[in-house]
Amino acid sequence: MASGTKGGLAVAVAAFLAYASGAAASEPRFEAGAFGAWRAGGEFRTDADTPEERDVGLETGGGWGLGFGLYRDPDAFYEFLYSRQATELDADDFGPGAPDITVEYYHFGGTLLLGDDPRLRSFVSLTAGAAHFKADGYGSETELSISLGTGLRVPVTERFMIDLGVRGYLTFIDQDTRLFCASIDGQAGCLLESSGSSVFQAEASAGFRWLF
């Protein structure tokens, strides 16, 4: 092969590799982010053995979370979602001495980005995993849960995004299951029991995402 042909081939290969490298760099591979949320919902009932059986809800309040994504393509990614709320049982429902409750969600799933407007994109997210409820001074509970979220993604730069969203969490609990049990002064007892087959919470959130 002539030296001129070899030189031209080398230039072509170098140009192709440079183009491929630039194209790959322009497409996100991973993302990480954090968000703050305002969460409501979550209803249980007091122990059926007590004379004053009644529904008890969780206090509405703030929470936060983290998200990590692995892109399948430019419009969809697999996601790990962690969300946490430090709250308490509603004192108006429970009465004095309502214990603090920590609610955590550990979910895996996926997010689909909709539309092609680079200035504003909507998204839908579906995840599933575990919900962990812990009451101070009592035991903890871990149950299967799912979530569905939607919202808007606003690019600030090519790699930095602001997310605004809403999400609902549905946790499956066997009806009449005793929750948050402990031994107190040698007596075994449970704080609450499920009022149905599920517990639902909803949140509105705002956060950021960084693309890599």
Please compute the mean of the pLDDT values over residues 176-186 and round it to a whole number. 75
Work out the pLDDT band at 8, boundaries 50, 70, 90: low
Helix (H, G, I), strand (E, B) or coil at 6: helix
**Residue 162 confidence (pLDDT) above 50:** yes
Q: 98 Cβ partners below 8 Å, 6+ apart?
A: 88, 89, 90, 91
Q: Which residue has the higher pLDDT, 58 or 14?
A: 58
**Residue 42 confidence (pLDDT) above 50:** yes
What HEC string does 111-168 produce? Answer: EEEECCCCCCEEEEEEEEEEEEEEECCCCEEEEEEEEEEEEEEEECCCCEEEEEEEEE
Q: What is the mean pLDDT of the chain?
A: 85
**Residue 19 confidence (pLDDT) above 60:** no
pLDDT of residue 99: 87
Whether the pTM exceeds 0.85: the reply is: no
pLDDT single digits (tens) 76-109 = 999 999 999 999 988 887 777 788 999 999 999 9
pLDDT single digits (tens) 105-130 = 999 999 999 998 888 999 999 999 99
**Residue 24 confidence (pLDDT) above 50:** no
Q: What is the DSSP string of 81-121?
A: EEEEEEEEB-HHHH-TTPPEEEEEEEEEEEEEEE---TT-E
